[in-house]
Chain A
Amino acid sequence: AQSVTQLGSHVSVSEGALVLLRCNYSSSVPPYLFWYVQYPNQGLQLLLKYTSAATLVKGINGFEAEFKKSETSFHLTKPSAHMSDAAEYFCAVSPRGFKTIFGAGTRLFVKA
């Protein structure tokens, strides 16, 4: 069975500070892993994905994530937060492109 745990329902950072959103997964088969972002009253937008190629994945808007199999983690980072990064972020796991399981989400607040 697949599952996703996002550590921290809320994360607050200052503008210009490092963003780190944590995600741990469980999967019985090699998974695809994703990070999505959701702005208020909108659908989800794909930030980046891991599909068993490079373990360090670069996405849009300066975000990146590193797949660590030994730690079953796929944490999302951005070196310098912008006010526009304030949103809800979801980590998701998919066993080779089928049923996608989402985490509960982490709301990112960015302080001026």
Chain B
Amino acid sequence: DAGVTQSPTHLIKTRGQQVTLRCSPKSGHDTVSWYQQALGQGPQFIFQYYEEEERQRGNFPDRFSGHQYPNYSSELNVNALLLGDSALYLCASSPQLAGGGEQYFGPGTRLTVT
């Protein structure tokens, strides 16, 4: 059983560019959350998708947007990249109706903005 997978593993972009990160949830999971983890910090919640809709959002600007597909996979899009967007972006999946609250994390995508 494949766990949560993310692509690409590493990415280098220039300020002002746009980037798309991808996530496939663990089998049987229908909810995907995205987190930003800056160097030396804990993950910060960006947003959560369930049934192809954004259900919750953290304190991130509209430059951060997402999408969830019918197969539950998800994308994170960041427009007009800033140097401060350099971070590890983590995707986590969970089964919405199972309760318990635990999430399964992917290995992350390391984004560097130059």
Contacts and interface: CB of A to CB of B under 8 A. Distances in A.
A105 B108 contact: no
Contact of B102 (A49, A103, A104, A105): A49
A42 interface: yes
A100 B108 contact: no
Interface residues of B, number: 26
A87 B62 CA distance: 33
Contacts of B92: 44
Given A44-B105, A49-B102, A90 B45 contact: no
Size category of the A interface is 20 to 34
A5 B49 CA distance: 27
Interface in B40-58: 40-45, 48, 55-56, 58
Interface of A: 4, 32, 34, 36, 41-46, 49, 51, 90, 92, 94, 96-105
